[in-house]
Structure 1
Amino acid sequence: MTGAARLAGAFALAVAGLGSTAAAVPHPDGVAPAPRDPGPSVHGMDVSGHQGEVDWRGAWSSGARFAYVKATEGTGFRSSTYRAQSSGARAVGMLRGAYHFGRPDVSGAAEQARFFVNHGGGWVPDGRTLPGVLDIEYNPYGPDDCYGLGPARMSQWIAEFSDTYRGLTGRFPAIYTTRNWWNTCTGGNTGFAENNPLWVARYGPEVGQLPAGWAQHTMWQHDNGGTFPGDQNLFNGKMAALKRFAAGTPRQRAAAERS
């Protein structure tokens, strides 16, 4: 999967869009430095239609243990490669999940959350499915990075998506974003950190400062090319922790069964 990478000032703010259809902007030095030892972590990847047919067995052999696959965007786009990519990741033993590229400029959040769940983005407590992700970031389709919404309206939109997704699946979605976008477009809203796992995008050797509210990240997208197809990611913890993240808590599993 490729994304819309933006160089917001210094190299430390170089980021990549998880769901944009725009071509990736090259890293300023050609290749991003390898991340410094982040401690216990699990390697993973994320892909979309840009990758097409993926060599999942090769990615597994190279060390990838989880994958996120683009499923939907707005309420009018379904990835034609989602089913094959998701099945391919699962077949080789990866934990896998789906992500939705949010478009606050085209429709309501609840509508988009339902569209996502109905087309691959749901979560089931099978121990192999990761919770869905809301990819909310720079607008690749227009000049307004915040899709024409002020911080209060943007925060409300994200909260509505999150609450709707939870009501449908029993899990809060993870949020993929960058520090710069989040702090600008939500006004640094700190109210999501308690419930929504953070998937932070930051290309560089260290994860750096996180978006407002989060004291730690769950996943880190540190490069848009490298060992595996698509974007390169690290889960913040050991494999046992990643499996617990997929399985959910007893309360989350019970909520999923009721939904």
Structure 2
Amino acid sequence: MKTIGIGLVGSGFMGRCHANAYSSVAGLFDVPLKPKLKMLAEANPELAKEAARSLQFERFTADWPELVNDPEVELVDITAPNHLHQPIALAAIAKGKPVYCEKPLACTLEEAKTMRDASESAGVATLVGYNYLQNPMIQTAREIVQSGEIGELFSFRGVHAEDFMADAQAPYTNRLDAEQGGGALYDIGSHIISLARFLVGPLCEVMGMQSTVFTERPEATNSKQMKTVKVDDQTHFLARFENGCSGTLEAS
């Protein structure tokens, strides 16, 4: 079987999920290419070395451009913090390498458009990590909607709620850093928006509100030093779709 060399940037929760999927996919599905875990990039050498050992990558680096430029890396997978998505993706696209980028695609609409335009201009394949869209349940729901089996849609309600930040003593992370694309809307709201668009269609009007439940958190686990939180813990908004359907979406 032909292979494709994978370069993974980031080894957090989603990075581990991606690595495990690459390792097992050829044994579960009939795929044309078998992924080979070639290189992993992380924020520092120690973390990169340990993650590469744990996830069974051949090599590691603390310098993501080294990964992008490596000739054995044929696909660049980005699970790094949100603010790094654009520069890594643009560098990979410039090298003609396909990009699989976790959501949200970028921190601003302008950044996302730049990434889209670069991939289209270069003719490079790209994919955003909206994994829920591949769930058979969601695929079936879309088929039911499009077939007209349940009639015309007038209302949609979507909620994506997680509990990993429910504890006020949970420490501050990049998920809570505005400059790194943190907050509920960016982090998990992007999922419910993608599902709404997938099931109902494009949105044309939105009006919403955001709130920060815990305005400060410990700088680290068990730390008494507190850090101010400036992003949303919750986002709620009303939405209207181009087909006339209206509804509510929530991320918490």
Instruction: Please confirm whether the aligned pair reaches a TM-score higher than 0.5, indicating the same fold.
Output: no
Structure 1 or 2: more helix by fraction? 2
Structure 1 or 2: more strand by fraction? 2
